[in-house]
């Protein structure tokens, strides 16, 4: 690499580069002057020595100069890496994430959006996992025939003779028989979906009180028996009888909205259906929470969509935004939530923040 020192030495030696001598016994601190020397490039030696001294001070981020963790070092404690590492450590330590307040009554939330691919299932299972990690007891009801929520929670919903939400809707089994605890998280339960659920809407048409089947199955007595704090009902991307059952059974609707161009497409129709259910079947139903998902900070469009959603829905929109993440997409393939799959990732941290915000909002509303 060319430098003034090398060029000068090359000229003096007739074309052969002679390395400039450096006195290892002497170091020049950053900012020191070289007054009194005849060499016009002597300041470069000082800068080089200053860099050497500086490097000896900057020990690896993994260990401090005292051999401790960077999280405990004042120099690195407030860096993004240190904060992420500390939070990931809390996630991996039983009870390390702290406790969240329990709601006064079981909060039953329908996670709905007729537009597919907006993160309904991902949001349902990861919010549930985040709340369970903080000491709450959570039930996920998988109403999507694809069974993706069941898969993400580690439930083998393809097993033979498994009691599922299909039998629950038809009244063939009770919640006690259909409920399963997730093998990866204590306090996290699931009523799995099977492929039989795909034909459930046709069978429900001829049944009496077809819109109330899920509400009757999720009785307060049975939920109290398992001390369930939160119920998340993962709906299919449609507004059929399964989604209507979910709305009749719930008190709240949580709508994930993707931060992309067609984000609000279909939300208007969903809101009209919610109003119809509220008027005729469930007066307690209301939209309580909006969560922005798949946010890509590299685009102006994502900010525009987020601003538009916040201006329309106001305080119902969570402050936490879920970023677009490859890790979040990978986790279900391993039968895990993102919090279990990669607890230190941005996606996991975001869902933990969203779960905390959701719980604290619920507690404040109850106290009010």
DSSP designation for 90: H
DSSP 298-354: T-HHHHHHHHHHHHHHGGGEEEEEEEP-HHHHHGGGGT--HHHH-TTSHHHHHHHHH
298: CB partners within 8 A, 6+ apart: none
Q: Are 293 and 118 in contact, with CB atoms under 8 Å apart? A: yes
User: What pLDDT, on a 0 to 100 scale, did the predictor assign at position 92?
Assistant: 55
Residue with tokens 């007066």: 283
**What is the number of other CB atoms lying within 10 angstroms of the CB of residue 207?**
14
Residue with tokens 């259910």: 277
User: What pLDDT, on a 0 to 100 scale, did the predictor assign at position 266?
Assistant: 78
Positive or negative, the Cα torsion across 217, 220, 226, 228? positive
**47, containing H or E segment:** helix 42-57
Q: Is 252 left (phi over 0), alpha (psi -120 to 50) or beta?
A: beta
Q: How far apart are CA 301 and CA 297, in angstroms?
A: 9
Q: How far apart are CA 236 and CA 218, in angstroms?
A: 19
Single pTM value for the model: 0.75
How far, rounded to the nearest angstrom, does the alpha carbon of residue 186 sit from its chain's CA centroid? 19
Identify the three-state secondary structure at position 190.
strand
**231, containing H or E segment:** strand 230-234
Both structure tokens of 30: 């950053």
Q: Are 174 and 222 in contact, with CB atoms under 8 Å apart? A: yes
Cα distances (angstroms) measured from residue 356 to each of 14, 101, 225, 352: 72, 9, 25, 6
Identify the three-state secondary structure at position 203.
helix
User: What pLDDT, on a 0 to 100 scale, did the predictor assign at position 264?
Assistant: 81
335: CB partners within 8 A, 6+ apart: 151, 152, 153, 154
User: What pLDDT, on a 0 to 100 scale, did the predictor assign at position 80?
Assistant: 63
Domains in the chain with CATH codes: 107-367 (3.40.50.300)
User: What pLDDT, on a 0 to 100 scale, did the predictor assign at position 171?
Assistant: 92
167: CB partners within 8 A, 6+ apart: 173, 178
User: What pLDDT, on a 0 to 100 scale, did the predictor assign at position 335?
Assistant: 87
User: What pLDDT, on a 0 to 100 scale, did the predictor assign at position 83?
Assistant: 62
Furthest-apart CA pair in the chain: how many Å? 102
Both structure tokens of 110: 């329908």
User: What pLDDT, on a 0 to 100 scale, did the predictor assign at position 157?
Assistant: 84
**What is the number of other CB atoms lying within 10 angstroms of the CB of residue 25?**
5
User: What pLDDT, on a 0 to 100 scale, did the predictor assign at position 103?
Assistant: 94
Residue 181 CB-density burial (10 A; 0-12 exposed, 13-18 middle, 19+ buried): middle
- Ordered mean pLDDT values, 10 residues apiece, the chain (368 residues): 47 48 45 47 47 40 38 53 61 62 95 88 97 97 94 88 93 95 94 91 88 94 95 92 96 94 83 94 96 92 93 95 92 91 94 96 66
């Amino acid at each position: 690499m060319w430098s003034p020192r090398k060029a000068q030495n090359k000229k003096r030696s007739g074309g052969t580069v002679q390395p400039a001598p450096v006195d290892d016994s002497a170091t020049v601190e950053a900012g020191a002057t070289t007054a009194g020397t005849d060499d016009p490039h002597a300041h470069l030696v000082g800068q080089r020595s200053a860099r050497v001294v500086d490097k000896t001070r900057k020990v690896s981020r993994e260990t401090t100069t005292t051999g401790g963790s960077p999280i405990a070092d004042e120099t690195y404690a407030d860096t993004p890496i240190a904060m992420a590492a500390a939070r990931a450590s809390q996630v991996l330590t039983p009870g390390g994430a702290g406790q969240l307040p329990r709601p006064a009554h079981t909060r039953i939330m329908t996670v709905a959006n007729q537009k597919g691919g907006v993160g309904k299932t991902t949001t349902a299972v990861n919010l549930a996992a985040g709340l369970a990690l903080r000491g709450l007891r959570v039930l996920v009801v998988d109403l999507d025939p694809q069974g993706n929520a069941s898969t993400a929670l580690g439930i083998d919903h393809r097993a033979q003779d498994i009691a599922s939400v299909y039998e629950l809707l038809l009244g063939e089994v009770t919640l006690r028989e259909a409920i399963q605890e997730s093998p990866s998280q204590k306090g996290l339960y699931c009523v799995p979906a099977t492929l039989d659920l795909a034909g459930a809407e046709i069978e429900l048409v001829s049944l009496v009180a077809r819109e109330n089947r899920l509400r009757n199955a999720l009785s307060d007595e049975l939920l109290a028996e398992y001390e369930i704090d939160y119920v998340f009902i993962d709906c299919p991307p449609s507004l059929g009888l399964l989604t209507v059952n979910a709305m009749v059974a719930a008190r709240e609707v949580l709508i994930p909205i993707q931060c992309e161009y067609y984000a609000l497409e279909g939300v208007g129709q969903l809101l009209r259906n919610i109003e119809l259910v509220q008027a005729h079947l469930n007066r307690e139903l209301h939209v309580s929470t909006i969560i922005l998902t798949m946010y890509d900070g590299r685009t102006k469009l994502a900010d525009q969509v987020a601003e538009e959603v916040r201006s329309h829905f106001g305080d119902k929109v969570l402050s936490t935004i879920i970023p677009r993440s490859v890790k979040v997409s990978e986790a279900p393939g391993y039968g895990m939530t993102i919090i279990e799959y990669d607890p230190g990732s941005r996606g996991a941290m975001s869902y933990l923040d969203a779960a905390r915000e959701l719980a604290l909002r619920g507690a404040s509303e109850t106290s009010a």
